[in-house]
Protein backbone atom coordinates (compact mmCIF):
# COMPACT_ATOMS: atom_id res chain seq x y z
CA UNK A 1 0.00 0.00 0.00
CA UNK A 2 1.28 3.44 -0.96
CA UNK A 3 1.47 6.25 1.50
CA UNK A 4 -0.21 9.54 0.65
CA UNK A 5 3.07 11.16 -0.43
CA UNK A 6 4.06 8.10 -2.52
CA UNK A 7 0.66 8.10 -4.25
CA UNK A 8 1.01 11.83 -4.99
CA UNK A 9 4.53 11.28 -6.39
CA UNK A 10 3.32 8.32 -8.48
CA UNK A 11 0.46 10.42 -9.88
CA UNK A 12 2.63 13.44 -10.67
CA UNK A 13 5.41 11.30 -12.19
CA UNK A 14 2.92 9.43 -14.39
CA UNK A 15 1.25 12.68 -15.44
CA UNK A 16 4.58 14.25 -16.43
CA UNK A 17 5.76 11.10 -18.24
CA UNK A 18 2.61 10.68 -20.31
CA UNK A 19 2.40 14.43 -21.00
CA UNK A 20 5.92 14.28 -22.46
CA UNK A 21 4.99 11.22 -24.55
CA UNK A 22 1.81 12.96 -25.76
CA UNK A 23 3.69 16.12 -26.72
CA UNK A 24 6.37 14.06 -28.51
CA UNK A 25 3.77 12.19 -30.55
CA UNK A 26 1.97 15.46 -31.35
CA UNK A 27 5.19 17.08 -32.59
CA UNK A 28 5.99 14.00 -34.67
CA UNK A 29 2.53 14.13 -36.29
CA UNK A 30 2.89 17.84 -37.04
CA UNK A 31 6.31 17.19 -38.57
CA UNK A 32 4.95 14.45 -40.87
CA UNK A 33 1.76 16.24 -41.95
CA UNK A 34 3.11 18.32 -44.89
CA UNK A 35 4.73 15.30 -46.57
CA UNK A 36 1.80 12.97 -45.98
CA UNK A 37 -0.90 15.45 -47.01
CA UNK A 38 0.71 16.35 -50.33
CA UNK A 39 0.51 20.10 -49.70
CA UNK A 40 2.97 20.69 -52.54
CA UNK A 41 0.45 19.20 -55.02
CA UNK A 42 -2.41 21.42 -53.87
CA UNK A 43 -3.13 23.90 -56.66
CA UNK A 44 -5.74 26.62 -57.21
CA UNK A 45 -8.03 24.26 -59.12
CA UNK A 46 -8.09 21.75 -56.26
CA UNK A 47 -8.80 24.55 -53.79
CA UNK A 48 -11.74 25.72 -55.91
CA UNK A 49 -12.92 22.09 -56.05
CA UNK A 50 -12.82 21.96 -52.26
CA UNK A 51 -14.92 25.12 -52.13
CA UNK A 52 -17.48 23.52 -54.46
CA UNK A 53 -17.39 20.39 -52.27
CA UNK A 54 -18.25 22.52 -49.25
CA UNK A 55 -20.83 24.76 -51.00
CA UNK A 56 -22.78 21.80 -52.39
CA UNK A 57 -22.49 19.92 -49.06
CA UNK A 58 -21.14 16.82 -50.78
CA UNK A 59 -20.13 15.52 -47.34
CA UNK A 60 -23.83 15.28 -46.53
CA UNK A 61 -23.91 12.12 -48.67
CA UNK A 62 -20.29 11.17 -49.46
CA UNK A 63 -17.28 10.33 -47.31
CA UNK A 64 -13.71 11.54 -47.78
CA UNK A 65 -10.88 10.35 -45.54
CA UNK A 66 -13.43 8.66 -43.30
CA UNK A 67 -15.39 11.86 -42.67
CA UNK A 68 -18.90 12.46 -43.92
CA UNK A 69 -22.08 10.52 -44.48
CA UNK A 70 -22.40 6.94 -45.65
CA UNK A 71 -25.36 7.40 -47.98
CA UNK A 72 -23.31 7.62 -51.16
CA UNK A 73 -19.91 6.11 -52.13
CA UNK A 74 -16.65 6.87 -50.35
CA UNK A 75 -14.63 9.17 -52.62
CA UNK A 76 -11.10 9.21 -51.16
CA UNK A 77 -9.73 6.94 -53.89
CA UNK A 78 -12.48 7.40 -56.51
CA UNK A 79 -10.03 8.17 -59.34
CA UNK A 80 -8.31 4.84 -58.74
CA UNK A 81 -11.62 3.00 -59.08
CA UNK A 82 -13.00 5.08 -61.97
CA UNK A 83 -11.14 7.00 -64.65
CA UNK A 84 -11.39 10.77 -64.97
CA UNK A 85 -13.68 10.63 -68.04
CA UNK A 86 -16.21 8.50 -66.16
CA UNK A 87 -16.24 10.93 -63.21
CA UNK A 88 -16.51 13.89 -65.60
CA UNK A 89 -19.50 12.30 -67.36
CA UNK A 90 -21.12 11.43 -64.06
CA UNK A 91 -20.78 15.00 -62.77
CA UNK A 92 -22.25 16.34 -66.03
CA UNK A 93 -25.40 14.24 -65.69
CA UNK A 94 -25.62 11.88 -62.70
CA UNK A 95 -29.25 11.10 -63.52
CA UNK A 96 -28.18 9.15 -66.62
CA UNK A 97 -26.15 6.65 -64.59
CA UNK A 98 -27.56 3.64 -62.73
CA UNK A 99 -31.21 3.70 -63.81
CA UNK A 100 -33.63 2.44 -61.21
CA UNK A 101 -31.32 3.25 -58.29
CA UNK A 102 -30.97 6.27 -56.04
CA UNK A 103 -29.45 9.20 -57.85
CA UNK A 104 -27.16 12.09 -57.04
CA UNK A 105 -28.58 15.59 -57.32
CA UNK A 106 -27.96 17.16 -60.71
CA UNK A 107 -26.05 20.36 -59.89
CA UNK A 108 -25.59 21.61 -63.49
CA UNK A 109 -21.85 22.07 -62.99
CA UNK A 110 -19.92 24.04 -65.60
CA UNK A 111 -16.95 22.34 -67.26
CA UNK A 112 -14.59 24.46 -65.12
CA UNK A 113 -16.38 23.39 -61.93
CA UNK A 114 -16.18 19.73 -62.98
CA UNK A 115 -12.45 20.13 -63.65
CA UNK A 116 -12.01 21.75 -60.21
CA UNK A 117 -13.91 18.98 -58.42
CA UNK A 118 -11.85 16.35 -60.25
CA UNK A 119 -8.65 18.21 -59.28
CA UNK A 120 -9.77 18.14 -55.66
CA UNK A 121 -10.58 14.42 -55.86
CA UNK A 122 -7.21 13.75 -57.53
CA UNK A 123 -5.41 15.61 -54.74
CA UNK A 124 -7.38 13.87 -51.99
CA UNK A 125 -6.61 10.52 -53.62
CA UNK A 126 -2.87 11.20 -53.36
CA UNK A 127 -2.92 11.94 -49.63
CA UNK A 128 -1.02 9.29 -47.67
CA UNK A 129 -3.89 7.77 -45.71
CA UNK A 130 -1.83 5.00 -44.18
CA UNK A 131 -3.88 2.29 -45.91
CA UNK A 132 -7.35 3.86 -45.60
CA UNK A 133 -9.84 2.88 -46.91
CA UNK A 134 -9.04 -0.73 -46.22
CA UNK A 135 -10.03 -3.12 -48.98
CA UNK A 136 -11.43 -6.15 -47.14
CA UNK A 137 -10.57 -9.53 -48.67
CA UNK A 138 -14.20 -10.27 -49.51
CA UNK A 139 -13.52 -11.46 -53.04
CA UNK A 140 -11.39 -14.41 -51.88
CA UNK A 141 -13.97 -15.34 -49.23
CA UNK A 142 -16.79 -15.14 -51.79
CA UNK A 143 -14.88 -17.32 -54.26
CA UNK A 144 -14.25 -19.93 -51.54
CA UNK A 145 -17.95 -19.91 -50.67
CA UNK A 146 -18.99 -20.31 -54.32
CA UNK A 147 -16.46 -23.11 -54.88
CA UNK A 148 -17.63 -24.81 -51.70
CA UNK A 149 -21.25 -24.58 -52.81
CA UNK A 150 -20.37 -25.98 -56.25
CA UNK A 151 -18.47 -28.86 -54.68
CA UNK A 152 -21.30 -29.82 -52.35
CA UNK A 153 -23.86 -29.57 -55.19
CA UNK A 154 -21.91 -32.10 -57.24
Per-residue pLDDT of the chain (154 residues; tens, 9 = 90+): 889 999 999 999 999 999 999 999 999 999 998 888 888 888 999 999 999 999 999 999 999 988 999 899 999 889 998 999 999 999 999 988 888 888 899 999 999 999 999 999 999 998 887 776 676 677 677 777 777 766 665 5
CA–CA gap between residue 109 and residue 85 (Å, rounded): 15
pTM score of the predicted model: 0.71
C-alpha dist (Å) from residue 21 to 17, 28, 47, 130 = 6, 11, 35, 22
pLDDT of amino acid 153: 56
Pinpoint the alpha helices (H) of the chain.
4-37, 44-55, 78-81, 84-92, 111-125, 138-153
* 63 membership: H or E segment, kind and range: strand 63-64
Torsion sign over Cα 14, 20, 24, 29: positive
pLDDT of amino acid 39: 84
CA–CA gap between residue 117 and residue 64 (Å, rounded): 13
C-alpha dist (Å) from residue 82 to 35, 85, 88, 147 = 26, 8, 10, 29
The SS3 of residue 117 is: helix
pLDDT of amino acid 92: 94
Q: Judge contact between 116 and 48, C-beta under 8 A.
A: yes
Amino acid sequence: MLSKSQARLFFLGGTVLFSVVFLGLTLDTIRQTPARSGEANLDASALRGRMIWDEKNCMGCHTILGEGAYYAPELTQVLKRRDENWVRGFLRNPQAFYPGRRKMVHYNFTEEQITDVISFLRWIGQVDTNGFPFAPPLRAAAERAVNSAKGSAQ
